[in-house]
Structure 1
Amino acid sequence: MGSRKILMLIGSILIGALAGFLLLNYVQNVEGEIRQDAQRVPVWVIAQEIPAGTTASDVVRTGRLEQREIESNFRPDNAVTDLSQIQGRVAVANLATNQVLVQGLFADPEVVETTFADLVQSDQIAISITVPKNRAVGGFVEPGDFVDIITLGEPFQSELGDEDAFDAAARQTPYSRPARFLYRGVRIIGVNGRLVGDGIPGAEDEVVVAQDSEEGGMNITLAIPADAAQRLLSVPESNLVLALLPDAWEPVAQANIVYEDFLSDAPLPGELPSLVTPYGRTGFVDLFAEAAEAEAEQSLDQNLEDELFDSLADQAANTDDPSDEG
């Protein structure tokens, strides 16, 4: 009885060993087939760290690149296969060792060496002004935006005309100082050191509000002609207000209506039947909603037209061919 148990144990061990051998052999065969299918291809690899701005010719001359082979399924689609692809270019950033050389790591010197001056057109100069956030659309201004620059004048004085007439007007109007448009459509190229084209990590899906700088306001950099800069810098920064313009804005002059209303003791807009609201007698019109509705209607019309066309095409296809009759 004991010898039978021993034989059964030995048999079990042998069967387990055989199964393990067969499994190992199968795995090795599969790996071998995968290796045969995975063709090895050459790639260029960074052998030594490459500082930003290094020219491709210096990189090649100093042996900072070397060619290696990797399996084809691991080679990036944008891998540089010929060093002529980076000829005349420079490294866009510090490049670490052992990374595969891909397109985009080297670029034209003009692109890499762009300076702040490149954002300023030849007929303009760049100047900076400091405006509190509450006078710069609450901080919702970005590099690349266009704004109106409104100046707040000194409080109205009786020197504007007859003192009695001034006093009477002052008692009837809420206007205490003029607000005039110095310039419209002024291009912003920088906000608090952030320039046009700068990305904000993590801000792709949210609105970024610029904050006041340590000096007590937002540093707004503008690109404008020299004569416009003279006029703007002649106005105290404490009197400036920025108003954000929509993308579809077109240049339209704005008259100094407050001064005229003050002198003539004109009714307030809300007292005029022709105005009532800031948007006119009919009130606010949501142009974005109207555009979306028009687009939806156009899409619906197109779908109906497509369905009608498909229906007619199906009817034509299902019509019996006269040649088949009889």
Structure 2
Amino acid sequence: MINLTKIIAAILVLLALALGGYAWMLSRQAPPPVVAAPASGTAPAVKPTQSQTFAVVVATKPLPAGQAIAADSLRVEQLTINPAGAFQETAPLAGRVPVIDLGEGTPLVEGQLVSGLALRVSEGERAIAIKADETMGVGNKVQPGDFVDVFVMLKSDGKDIDRSQARLLLSRKRVLAYGSVSIDGLASKSDKSGAAQQAQRSEPARTAVLAVPVDDINRLTLAESSGRLLLALRNPTDMSEPDPKLFAELPTALQPLQPKAGEARRPPLEGLDRAQAGLTAADFATGGQQTAVRMPAIAAARAPMAVTNNVRRGLQVEVIRGDRSETVNY
């Protein structure tokens, strides 16, 4: 019993010595670095990420609506946004026309620019629509891009049917649109197979849009309101046209001012000036060669009477009411 107690005591002494040596070794090692705790209320640092940018054409100066865009008024910038319909190059935008005023730095998109038939009209021309049907449209065989001759039929009343006439009104005019199909190809953008455009062609056409010189629009509008128009389809390679020098020029509704003393003779009216001067229905129908004197009744009543061989004789005035005419002696 005494030996067992001595053995246990010796074991405990050895264990105490071992623990003391281990503690002395730990005290000899350097202490680990202390990590400072973040101050309260400050967010942990986040590594910055680079955002994606896109090349977009913007205006370098204000672009007024209705004026062509100059090449030096555009530049390409790297933006964090990429608007729908934006451009990546400046070359396609030179000469395009904005439909609204654009400020400096504004990104240009397709919806802000003029498009459609307006871009197909040449300088000095206007796009004008006339009524169309199967008969006047060559059995609906007219297509956008074709060239046609426009004839007019002016039919007189039953009493004077021999004065009815038919003549060539406009020669080799370009068809911009016929029915719902247009030359700008907008009908086929959503359907590359052309099924949508073919479906539109099957519908009866009600209008035809022609490119007409501005000084010929007066004749076309008078012809449509006074008679019946007819389109004659022609081969696009046929360049023949009538010689306007063979016929007298129609007088205008508004007479131009006469040159003052010492001024050179003014050239004939052309383009917008002639279009503004207008045309009367009577001159259009007769070619400016009227066989009877036509005066308003009020002006005729105020006109002085003519005296010949001591006989008081009034003026003969033709009064037109609708499709009827009568001669009145004043």
Pairwise TM-score range, normalised by the shorter structure: 0.3 to 0.5
Structure in which a larger fraction of residues adopt strand: 2
- Normalising by structure 1, report the TM-score: 0.37
Higher relative contact order structure (alpha carbons within 8 Å, sequence separation ≥ 6): 1
* Higher Rg: 2
Structure in which a larger fraction of residues adopt helix: 1
